[in-house]
Structure 1
Amino acid sequence: MDPLPEHVLVGFNRTILASNQTEPVDKFSGTQLLLRFRPLFVPLYSLVVVVAGVGNSFLLACILADKKLHNATNFFIGNLAAGDLLMCLSCVPLTASYAFDLHGWAFGQPLCHLIPLLQGATVFASVLSLTAIAIDRYVVVAYPIRRRISGWRCSIVALGVWAASLALAAPPSLHTRYLDLRPSGMEVVVCEEFWLGAERQRLLYSCFFLLASYMIPLLSVSISYCAISIHLQRHMVPGEPCHSRQRWTRQRRKTFSLLVASVLAFALCWLPLQILNLLLDLDSDFRILDKHYVNVLQVSCHLLAMSSTCYNPFIYASLHRKVRAHLFSHCASRNPAACLTPASELPVKESTAEIPSPDN
């Protein structure tokens, strides 16, 4: 007999005996408190889905519609936007529904395993895409006359990013269990991670996830930024006049500021949730965190983490006039080339298209 349903039922019975309640909503401590905030959280989750969906769709449309934007940096930016779009359209609505549904998981067993896998994979895909952008930025600045990576090689890198992301996100999905407790008299369907007998592995994976989510992108951006700064101070573009070199340097620094902003937004949004999950792994007896507030804290941190899918389109738009103009004026219907090419801010003879700089 599988010991897991019995383990969950024992937890239910202990809660029922302690609280003398029989309704499903009362069988988890903190659920009533969470439901009081449902009128606040549901609109916020809906706002995240709409903003992230529209913003990332716009960013992908910009890159796909204009062939001048088909280069390595924009390819990785598009990969980042695709991951954010996948997360906001699949993970956010289902996980939010599960949090506020009185009867638990309502989407069946296959999605119970798929959604945690997708959510973890999109996080790692964002991390690896930001790392790829940082490496590409350094190559562009350090070797300006070197031929850029080709489209098919970018595709191979993107496939590698998603394959690695799925592999790294697999452990929680493998330990996620779908438990229908209705035959036992409990009108609840549970879809949760259970690491029975493997609590140490769960803790190690939590530490790994926390470090990988921050150390990889932050280190890559820091190293790349330092290398670019040193290179720009020591080298000049051959044959380029002083004013052109200054503009060249300014544009590349502007480009790199976008990468720094993207990494900081990602890191700050995901940090509270990762710290909370680590604390819950370390504090299984709820001595640090009051169990009554855990559900509200989890949903709050999860909402902040999901909001990371919204920011990149606005980061690029805020620092580039043409992208911003296209986003708010819908001018693509009248003149797509002018709106979709941020580098059109520069004279034609000097511009090559990238989001958000004219780098080659």
Structure 2
Amino acid sequence: WPFGAFLCKATPYLQGVSVCASVYTLAAIALDRYLAICRNPQWRITTQLSRLMIASIWLLGVALLVPWAVFYEQFEHRTEFQVVPMCHQIWPDFQSQRAYFVGAIFVGTYLFPLLVVLLCYICIGLRVWNRRAPGVPKDNRLIRHSKMKVMKMLAVMVSLFALSWLPLHAIYMKMYFNADSFTQSELDMVYNVAIPISQWLELSNSGINPIIYCFFSRNFRRGFQSMCFFRRRHRRFSGVYSSTTKYMTIEYVNGHVTIIFRRDNRDESSSTL
């Protein structure tokens, strides 16, 4: 570890906080959809509530990962030929470290959020599947096809969430409860290959949901395309533009349109959009 004692504590702590915030954000999104679809169709997150939720998510991550900031230490690992600086957790005893991993890391950042996401999407799926529009036959082929797409999308989202985070937790669970079964070469493979790949896999889950929406939802694709088109059109026509005729003057200034109506070459009235 060549980066010093401060970064030895700060780097894993901040990484853990960001991962925790990412997981709980996904759980909060699932809970929001559940409330909007299954409980109250008028449910909307206000700006104040969204800020409160974001702050709570980050504060939870900050509090949950405090032991990492305390127990990560830089130390010197002496070999036969050299002294190598290392960065690792140094707890007072192994039982406390294992209990923290199981209770805070495995349950707090994987099992509990997974249960929240799973239960919310199961309820959403059941609600969508059993809902019937007035005047539409229950066995309508188009309706069934639409419902199946929703069910598949929910199943894919839950499965990817579970499978993306499972490998890293499985590796650490085996290391905490059956570390003696690893040989030195296997430990080197775990630290140098398996753990980095598992970390990449778990972090990729946060960015894969929009791809799932794009694949399953035509409305999402249309909304994304219209948003991009609006931005291009806005950039193309941004600035100042003015056009005058005998009866009106139209002014466009940075997105604001002002129309001035004329009568006998005198300003009659104006309207700003």
Identify if the C-alpha distance between structure 1 residues 108 and 251 changes in structure 2 by more than 3 Å, giving closer, same or farther.
farther
> Would you say 1:289 and 2:182 are equivalent positions?
yes
Are 2:118 and 2:158, in contact at CA under 8 Å, matched by a contact in 1?
A: no
Seen in structure 2, the aligned counterparts of structure 1 residues 235 and 254 have a Cα distance that, compared at 3 Å, is: closer
Per the TM alignment, residue 164 of structure 1 is displaced from its structure 2 partner at its CA by 0.3
User: Residues 319 and 159 of structure 1: is their aligned pair in 2 closer, same or farther, counting only changes over 3 Å?
Assistant: same
Q: Could you say if the C-alpha distance between residues 332 and 221 of structure 1 is closer, same or farther in structure 2, counting changes exceeding 3 Å?
A: same
**C-alpha distance in structure 1 between counterparts of 2:120 and 2:185, whole Å:** 44
Match in the other structure for 1:168: 64
Measure how far apart 1:324 and its partner are: 9.4
User: Within 2, Cα distance between the matches of 1:233 and 1:181?
Assistant: 59
Give, in angstroms, the shift of residue 277 of structure 1: 1.6
Alpha-carbon distance between aligned partners in 2 of 1:325 and 1:108, rounded to the nearest angstrom? 47
Total equivalences in the alignment: 223
> Normalising by the residue count of structure 1, what TM-score does the alignment of the two structures yield?
0.52
Q: Which has the higher strand share?
A: 2
Q: Which residue of 2 aligns with 1:203?
A: 98
- Structure 1 range deviating more: 147-156 or 303-312: 303-312
Higher RCO by CA contacts (8 Å cutoff, separation 6 or greater)? 1
Residues 263 and 118 of structure 1: CA distance in aligned 2, closer, same or farther (over 3 Å): farther
Cα distance, 1:221–1:254 mapped onto 2, change above 3 Å? farther
Structure of greater Rg:
2
The Cα RMSD (Å) is: 3.6
Residue 209 of structure 2 aligns with an amino acid whose one-letter code is N
Give secondary structure in 1 for the equivalent of 2:87: strand
Tell me the CA shift for residue 261 of structure 1: 3.4
Selected match of 1:265 from 150, 154, 160:
160
Determine the structure 2 residue equivalent to 1:130: 26
- The 3 A distance-change label for structure 1 pair 258 and 201 is farther
Aligned to 2:201: 307
Q: Is the 8 A contact 1:134 1:259 kept in 2?
A: no
- 1:116 corresponds in structure 2 to 12
Q: How far does the alpha carbon of each residue in 1:277-320 deviate from its partner, in whole angstroms, 9 at most, with x for none?
A: 22222245x3x111222121233233232233333343333334
Gaps of 5+ in 1: 1-104, 338-360
Does the 8 A contact of 1:318 with 1:324 survive in 2?
Answer: no
The alignment-based identity, stated in percent, is: 25
Kindly provide the CA deviation profile for residues 202-227 of structure 1, in whole angstroms up to 9, marking residues without a partner as x.
11112122233332232112322332
Unaligned runs of 5+ in 2: 236-273
